[in-house]
């Protein structure tokens, strides 16, 4: 008889793939950190996780940036893609694959996808005339402009007139609206749903998906000289990243995605164009598109093309990765817009991390060792892990962190009111100190476990210093005698 182990449930999460015309800024790292926290959390919950990120390399912006630097486009883009990958890795981001749209597998997937949609009769030839913003990689209408300029990139769009192929997206409008109605979780947070429904009802229609005479892009299989429109190509990364057309087992295991995590600025592409493309290709739709907010830096909009982007690597010179990961998720309510400032980062580092958490660990370790030789009582405390993890699964990171910090506040207050250093002076005080420090021990352990996905490195160090099995019995020493008196993040 053959026994089969039950298969673990799967969880597939993606970030946008990033343009490589410049280095990453903190906004890009922000999205990828949030995805990483979710990926780590689901791994802890024993899911078979696939976490995909990568670079969107066929944008004209990349070629332009190469030209400005008098570099060969391919060479520049290869170098930038490596920089992106390394920067993201240096933030302890555990993606399973870094997909590049210039890779042969991705090109194969795009060709396969294009042919499927074409066979379906959803691609036709038409003439296109419009205003194209290279920053957005999108046609804009007069209505979108302010002072004749794109409001996001502050540049005048180009007039383009050409014969293109169109994708018959209008055919899927009703199916899409019905899907959104039947699956209220499809567009998250819920507050973004109305805006998208309104867009699909009133503005979403057939879209030009090829460009004439571009040297940079995936060639249209049956139209030499033309290339596929960068968004039609880029969205397909969510399929090519898990082996569409190359590794059917992997593809069927992970598709549909459980969540596409994006910034709100690219919601239209993900909530309208992408699902319409999937319907045309007879593929299931992702379970959720979660669009988070944007943050400003010191009150100003941040962007590569606006020139005020903070280099995440500069922050790393002063603070550890864990500090930055904690800060962005605690400071900005995920899903909403917020502001990033180095001043707030310093404040939160000093108050929340060094003071509330770090001092608690150091105080506890010192007292347990000094007063009890590491032996604390095994007592019950109020655990926070399950509730906090549930909040994180709903992308409510700051609420989850608040719960944990409430426990730290409780623990610090409890130590102050019980005063173990005074109990230590009493002949009968030992049992009480064991109980007090036992409660602190289990609170710290529960909190550090909860924080593993957000602050993986420091949480693991806290857990190591608490080495749990040694305190199960009061008679056994809690710590190997090592110096944990100053806990640094
Ligand atoms: N290449 C497209 C996405 C294609 S996905 C199939 C693109 N790239 S991008 O380089 O411009 O990255 C945009 C993403 O970066 C946003 O969706 C968001 O996730 C992140 N952010 C960029 N600036 C940001 C802020 N100021 N604040 C928060 N996130 C930001 O669009």
Round to whole Å and give the CA distance between 122 and 207.
Answer: 11
153 tagged catalytic: yes
Q: Considering only CA atoms, which residue is closest to atom 8 of ligand 1?
A: 18
Question: 146 CA distance to ligand 1 centroid (A)?
Answer: 22
Q: Which two tokens stand for residue 466?
A: 């608490």
Distance from Cα 332 to the centre of ligand 1, integer Å:
17
pTM of the model: 0.93
Residue nearest to atom 13 of ligand 1 (CA): 18
pLDDT at 484: 55
Q: Do the Cβ atoms of 61 and 134 come closer than 8 Å?
A: yes
22: helix, strand or coil: coil
Please name which of 144, 122, 119 lies closest in space to residue 131, comparing C-alpha atoms. Answer: 144
pLDDT of residue 303: 65
For the chain (489 residues), the mean pLDDT of every run of 10, in chain order, is 75 98 92 98 98 96 90 95 97 98 98 98 92 86 87 88 93 98 97 95 95 89 92 98 97 98 97 98 98 90 69 93 98 95 96 97 91 86 96 98 98 98 94 93 96 97 75 49 61
Encode 117-134: b = buried (16+ Cβ within 10 Å), e = exposed.
bbeeebbeeeebeebbbb
4 is catalytic: no
pLDDT for 18 equals: 98
Reported as a single tens digit per residue, the pLDDT across 9-35 is 999 999 999 999 989 999 999 999 999
How many A from CA of 297 to the centre of ligand 1? 15
Smallest CA-to-CA distance from 315 within 40, 27, 95 is with 27
Q: Which of 23, 29, 31 to mutate to test the pocket of ligand 1 (most atoms within 8 A of CB)?
A: 31
Among residues 118, 153, 155, 470, the one annotated as catalytic is 153
* Interacting residues of 168 by C-beta distance below 8 A, sequence separation 6+: 121, 122, 123, 124, 206, 280
Q: What are the two backbone dihedrals, phi and then psi, of residue 285, each rounded to the nearest 5 degrees?
A: -85, 150
Calculate how far, in angstroms, residue 239's C-alpha sits from the geometric centre of ligand 1. 19
- 150 part of the active site: yes
Angle between helix 321-331 and 456-466 (nearest 10): 110
301 assigned to active site? yes
* Contact residues of ligand 1, CB 6 A cut-off: 16-19, 27-28, 30-31, 56, 234-235, 237, 262-263, 265-266, 294-295, 302
CA 335 – CA 111 distance, rounded (Å): 34
Name the residue with the closest Cα to ligand 1, atom 12: 18
Annotated active-site residue in 106, 150, 271, 445: 150
pLDDT at 304: 58
What's the pLDDT tens digit per position in 325-384?
999 999 999 999 999 999 999 999 999 999 999 999 999 989 998 998 888 888 889 999
* CA atoms within 13 Å, Cβ hemisphere of 431: 2
The answer to whether the bond into 268 is cis (omega within 30° of 0) is no
Centre of ligand 1 from the C-alpha of residue 19, in Å: 8
CA angle 355, 357, 360 (to 5 degrees): 85
């Amino acid at each position: 008889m053959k026994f089969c182990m039950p298969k673990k449930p799967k969880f597939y999460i993606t970030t946008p793939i990033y343009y490589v015309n410049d280095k990453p800024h903190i906004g890009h790292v922000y999205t990828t950190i949030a995805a990483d926290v979710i990926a780590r959390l689901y791994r802890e919950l024993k899911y078979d996780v696939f976490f995909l990120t990568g670079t969107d390399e066929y944008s004209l912006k990349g070629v332009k940036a190469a030209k400005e630097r008098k570099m060969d486009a391919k060479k520049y883009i290869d170098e930038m893609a490596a920089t992106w990958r390394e920067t993201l890795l240096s933030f302890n981001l555990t993606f399973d694959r870094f997909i590049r749209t210039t890779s042969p597998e991705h090109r194969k997937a795009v060709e396969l996808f294009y042919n499927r949609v074409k066979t379906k009769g959803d691609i036709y030839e038409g003439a296109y005339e419009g205003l194209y913003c290279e920053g957005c990689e999108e046609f804009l209408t007069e209505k979108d402009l302010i002072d004749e300029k794109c409001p996001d990139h502050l540049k005048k769009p180009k007039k383009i007139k050409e014969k293109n192929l169109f994708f018959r997206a209008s055919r899927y409008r009703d199916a899409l609206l019905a899907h959104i109605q039947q699956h209220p979780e499809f567009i998250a947070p819920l507050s973004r749903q109305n805006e998208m429904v309104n867009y699909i009802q009133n503005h979403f229609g057939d879209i030009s998906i090829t460009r004439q005479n571009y040297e940079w892009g995936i060639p249209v299989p049956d139209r030499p000289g033309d290339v596929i429109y960068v968004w039609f190509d880029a969205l397909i990364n969510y399929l090519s990243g898990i082996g569409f057309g190359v590794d059917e087992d992997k593809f069927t295991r992970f598709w549909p995605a459980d969540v596409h995590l994006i910034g709100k600025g690219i919601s239209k592409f993900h909530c309208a164009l992408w699902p319409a493309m999937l319907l045309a290709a007879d593929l299931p739709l992702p379970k959720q598109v979660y669009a988070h907010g944007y943050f400003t830096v010191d009150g100003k909009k941040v962007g590569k093309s606006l020139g005020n982007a903070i280099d995440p690597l500069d922050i790393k010179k002063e603070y550890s990765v864990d500090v930055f990961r904690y800060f962005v998720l605690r400071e900005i309510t995920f899903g909403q817009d917020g502001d990033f400032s180095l001043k707030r980062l310093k404040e939160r580092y000093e108050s929340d991390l060094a003071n509330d958490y770090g001092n608690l660990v150091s105080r506890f370790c010192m007292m347990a060792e000094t007063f009890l030789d590491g032996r604390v009582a095994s007592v019950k405390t109020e655990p926070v892990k399950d509730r906090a993890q549930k909040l994180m699964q709903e992308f409510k990171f700051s609420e989850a962190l608040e719960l944990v910090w409430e426990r730290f506040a409780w623990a610090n207050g409890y130590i102050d009111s019980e005063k173990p250093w005074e109990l230590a002076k009493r002949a009968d005080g030992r049992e009480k100190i064991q109980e007090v420090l036992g409660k602190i021990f289990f609170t710290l352990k529960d909190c550090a476990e909860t924080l593993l996905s957000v602050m993986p490195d420091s949480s693991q160090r806290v857990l190591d210093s608490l080495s749990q099995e040694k305190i199960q019995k009061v008679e056994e020493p809690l710590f190997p005698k090592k110096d944990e008196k100053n806990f640094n993040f």
